[in-house]
C-alpha cells in the first residue's frame, strides 16, 4: 500500500451514506422524527363564553322573551289598583333556530397510519375541532354586529327600548383610522358611555379587536393606564398586557368581521381598507372573505348577513346579553369502527356541530366602524 500524505483524503474510503458510491454522502442516513409537528395557525375561540348560550333538546328553535319598562304613578285614594292603564310592561320575543349540521371530516387509511412514524389521529382531530370552533366564533360575531345596527324588539308606543349602537373610530374617511390607538381608546370610552346611557349592565362587557389593533394599543401604553403598572414590563413584551378600557375587557380575534374580511385586510389604503402591507406567505386561510351567510343560503336558518354589509366594520364591544347561541349538538368528534373500518380499511374522523346564533338585546351591542360615518353605506341598519 502506497504511503499517502496525511493532508490528502483517502481515495478508497467507503462512504457509508452514499447511494451506489455516488452523490450525496449522507443520502442514506436515517431522517429521525423529532417528535414535533408544525401545527397550522390556531385561532383562539372566545365567543362561546362571552354571550348567552343555551342547550336545545326536542325542538328546532328556542324562544327568548323581552319585557320592556313600565312606569310609576301616584295612587288616588279610593281608586281600585288593577294595573297601569297603559298595559305596561310590553312584551316581545326573539326566536333563534338551529342551523343545519355543520361537519368537518377526514378519512385515515389504516396502512398510512401504520407506516407513519408520527401520530395521525390526534392531529387530525384537533384540526377538525379548530375548523368548527372558528365557524362558531365567526357566526356569533356576525350576529353581534347585526345587533349593533338593530332596533329593540320592544316597539310599543311610548315604551320603545334602546337599540344598538355604532361608533366611528376617528373622523377621516380612511380605513386606516381603525389602527389609530388614540381613536380606538376614545371609541371605547364613547361605547362605555352609550352602554351606560342605555341602561346596560356593566357586568360582562367585553371588546374584540383584530390583532394589529390590539398591538397598536399595547405600543401606545404610557401613562394612560391601559396596562397595570405592576406588570407593565412583562405585559409589553408578551403582547397580552391590556386589561381593560372603561371597564371593558379586551380580547383579540381573527374571527371578527373586519372590512369584509375576517380579522385582517391587506392592500392600499381606502375608505374600506386600512392600508396594511401583507407580511407575505400568509397562506390561503388568512384574510378570508366574509362569505355570504344570509338566511337563504343552504344550511343556514338564521340571518348572518352578506360580505358587503361589513365593509367598514372594525371591532365589537358588547355585553353578554347582546347575542344568544343555541346548541342542539355541541362540538364533538366521532370515529367509525367495526365493519365500516374493515370494509374501507380505515376510519372516518368526523367533527360535528349543530348550533344557531342571533342577536338578543341590541342595546348591549356596539359596532366600531372606520372609513365611513356610522349608519352609512355598508354599515346601515339591517
Q: What is the CATH number of the domain that holds 306?
A: 3.30.2400.10
Distance CA 234, CA 242 (A): 11
Contact 141, 256 (CB under 8 A): yes
Distance CA 349, CA 40 (A): 18
In a domain, 376, yes or no: no
Contact 17, 29 (CB under 8 A): yes
Q: Is 325 helix (H, G, I), strand (E, B) or coil?
A: strand
Q: What is the predicted pLDDT for the residue at 2?
A: 53
Contact 311, 379 (CB under 8 A): yes
In a domain, 72, yes or no: yes
In a domain, 374, yes or no: no
In a domain, 34, yes or no: no
Distance CA 86, CA 116 (A): 74
In a domain, 60, yes or no: yes
Distance CA 79, CA 85 (A): 12
Domain range for 136 is 47-80+89-369
In a domain, 31, yes or no: no
In a domain, 19, yes or no: no
pTM equals: 0.85
- Per-10-residue mean pLDDT, the chain, length 382: 57 72 75 60 76 88 85 85 79 91 91 81 85 92 96 87 95 94 94 96 94 87 55 51 81 94 94 94 90 89 92 97 92 85 90 93 96 74 54
DSSP secondary structure string, 14-83? --TTSBTTBS-TTTTS-----S---PPP-PPP-GGGTSEEEE--SSSEEEEEEE------PPPTT----S
- Looking at the structure of the chain, the number of domains it has is 1
In a domain, 122, yes or no: yes
- Helix runs in 198-333, H state only: 211-219, 232-238
Amino acid at each position: 500500500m502506497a504511503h499517502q500524505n496525511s493532508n490528502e483524503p483517502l481515495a478508497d474510503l467507503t462512504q457509508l451514506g452514499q447511494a451506489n458510491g455516488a452523490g450525496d454522502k449522507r443520502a442514506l442516513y436515517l431522517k429521525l422524527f423529532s417528535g414535533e409537528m408544525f401545527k397550522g395557525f390556531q385561532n383562539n375561540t372566545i365567543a362561546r363564553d362571552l354571550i348567552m348560550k343555551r342547550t336545545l333538546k326536542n325542538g328546532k328553535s328556542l324562544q327568548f322573551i323581552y319585557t320592556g319598562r313600565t312606569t310609576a304613578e301616584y295612587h288616588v285614594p279610593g281608586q281600585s289598583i288593577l294595573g297601569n292603564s297603559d298595559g305596561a310592561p310590553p312584551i316581545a320575543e326573539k326566536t333563534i333556530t338551529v342551523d343545519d349540521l355543520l361537519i368537518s371530516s377526514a378519512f385515515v387509511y389504516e396502512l398510512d397510519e401504520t407506516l407513519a412514524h408520527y401520530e395521525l389521529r390526534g392531529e387530525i382531530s384537533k384540526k377538525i375541532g379548530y375548523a368548527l370552533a372558528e365557524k362558531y366564533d365567526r357566526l356569533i360575531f356576525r350576529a353581534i354586529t347585526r345587533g349593533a345596527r338593530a332596533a329593540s324588539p320592544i316597539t310599543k308606543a311610548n315604551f320603545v327600548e334602546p337599540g344598538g349602537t355604532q361608533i366611528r373610530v376617528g373622523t377621516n374617511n380612511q380605513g386606516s383610522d381603525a389602527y389609530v390607538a388614540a381613536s380606538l381608546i376614545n371609541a371605547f370610552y364613547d361605547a362605555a358611555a352609550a352602554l351606560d346611557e342605555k341602561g346596560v349592565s356593566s357586568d360582562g362587557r367585553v371588546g374584540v379587536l383584530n390583532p394589529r389593533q390590539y398591538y397598536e394599543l399595547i405600543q401606545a401604553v404610557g401613562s394612560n393606564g391601559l396596562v397595570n403598572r405592576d406588570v407593565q414590563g412583562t405585559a409589553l413584551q408578551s403582547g397580552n398586557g391590556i386589561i381593560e378600557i372603561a371597564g371593558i375587557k379586551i380580547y383579540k380575534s381573527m374571527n371578527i368581521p373586519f372590512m369584509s374580511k375576517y380579522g385582517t385586510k391587506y392592500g392600499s389604503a381606502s375608505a374600506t381598507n386600512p392600508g396594511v402591507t401583507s407580511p407575505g406567505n400568509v397562506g390561503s386561510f388568512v384574510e378570508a372573505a366574509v362569505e355570504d351567510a344570509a338566511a337563504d343560503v343552504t344550511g343556514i336558518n338564521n340571518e348572518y348577513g352578506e360580505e358587503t354589509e361589513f365593509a367598514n366594520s372594525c371591532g365589537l364591544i358588547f355585553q353578554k346579553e347582546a347575542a344568544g347561541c343555541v346548541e342542539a349538538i355541541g362540538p364533538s368528534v366521532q370515529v367509525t369502527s367495526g365493519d365500516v373500518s374493515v370494509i374501507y380499511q380505515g376510519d372516518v374522523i368526523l367533527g360535528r356541530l349543530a348550533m344557531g346564533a342571533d342577536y338578543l338585546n341590541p342595546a348591549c351591542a356596539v359596532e366600531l366602524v372606520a372609513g365611513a360615518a356610522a349608519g352609512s353605506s355598508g354599515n346601515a341598519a339591517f
